[in-house]
């Protein structure tokens, strides 16, 4: 499914409003700081940019993915605030991973349609659970699992941890991103599976040499 709808035509206007709001918040936040605090804020912003630049997708790719995520979340909120509350959106090189819980099949399908309509989306991976009971009571434990795994990947010298996105829903770990090679990916999967309270690991990570990446880069 690759169609574009009304959401796509509004993407630029939406992103422009979001960017203005973010810039205003940043200005107001930094403006209230003095001396070392202001310097720390500026250094923090620069450090975030440096981290993004060192990712496999580069600074430009990271910014494009952030724009896609912002647009998708904006339209999810516009359509149904409860839907946005129950879902999580991860984007890496235009590949969108939707996880979380939707109350009905119709709401799940609506989220997928909205994701496809954002400009720059190459793939939408639907891992949304349909459950009328809504958000799971395992949220705190799921958050702990994701944080624990993220820390392990970042401190493991044989893994480029910044290239991975992690989300956990009801004990199932969902992975998205780019691995340097099969050995690195296998190590990531071992870490994920060996964490306490993990029931399952769903892998959507692709290798650095994957033909899909090369095709997308050729189009840029």
For residue 182, is pLDDT > 90?
yes
pLDDT confidence of residue 111: 97
CA 17 from centre of chain:
20
User: Token pair 């060192």 is at which residue?
Assistant: 54
Question: DSSP labels for 25-86?
Answer: HHHHHHHT--HHHHHHHHHHHHHHHHHHHHSTTHHHHHHHHHHHHHHHHHHHHHH-HHHHHH
Q: Determine the longest span between alpha carbons in the chain, in angstroms.
A: 53
- Of residues 143, 108, 150, the one with CA closest to residue 129: 108
Specify whether the CB–CB gap between 101 and 169 falls below 8 A. yes
pLDDT confidence of residue 5: 55
* Domains of the chain, first to last: 6-130 (no CATH), 139-216 (3.30.1340)
CB atoms within 10 A of CB 35: 7
138-171 tens-digit pLDDT? 889 999 999 999 999 999 999 999 999 999 999 9
Evaluated on CA atoms 116, 120, 123, 127, the torsion sign reads negative
Tell me whether strands 95-102 and 87-92 are parallel, antiparallel or unpaired.
antiparallel
Question: DSSP labels for 97-120?
Answer: EEEEEESSHHHHHHHHHHHHHSTT
**Local confidence band at 54 (pLDDT 50, 70, 90 cut-offs):** low
Token representation of residue 20 = 């203005």
User: Token pair 């979380």 is at which residue?
Assistant: 100
Specify whether the CB–CB gap between 80 and 25 falls below 8 A. no
Segment (H or E) for 179: strand 172-179
pLDDT confidence of residue 108: 97
- Of residues 124, 80, 141, the one with CA closest to residue 106: 80
Mean pLDDT value across the chain: 82
For residue 15, is pLDDT > 80?
no
């Amino acid at each position: 499914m690759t169609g574009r709808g009304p959401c796509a035509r509004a993407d630029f206007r939406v992103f422009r409003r979001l960017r203005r709001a973010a810039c205003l918040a940043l200005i107001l936040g930094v403006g209230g700081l003095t001396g070392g605090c202001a310097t720390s804020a500026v250094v923090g912003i620069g450090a975030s940019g440096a981290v993004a630049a060192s990712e496999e997708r580069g600074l430009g790719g990271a910014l494009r993915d952030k724009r896609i995520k912002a647009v998708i979340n904006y339209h999810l909120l516009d359509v149904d605030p409860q839907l946005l509350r129950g879902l999580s959106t991860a984007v890496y090189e235009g590949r969108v991973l939707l996880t979380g819980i939707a109350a009905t099949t119709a709401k799940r399908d609506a989220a997928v349609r909205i994701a496809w309509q954002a400009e720059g989306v190459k793939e939408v991976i639907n891992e949304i659970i349909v459950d009328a009971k809504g958000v799971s009571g395992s949220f705190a434990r799921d958050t702990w699992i994701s944080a624990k795994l993220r820390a392990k990947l970042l401190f493991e010298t044989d893994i480029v941890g910044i290239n991975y996105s992690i989300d956990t829903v009801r004990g199932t770990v969902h992975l998205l991103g780019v691995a340097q090679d099969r050995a690195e990916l296998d190590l990531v999967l071992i870490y994920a599976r060996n964490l306490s309270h993990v029931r399952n690991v769903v892998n959507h990570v692709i290798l650095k040499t994957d033909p899909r990446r090369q095709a997308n880069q050729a189009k840029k």
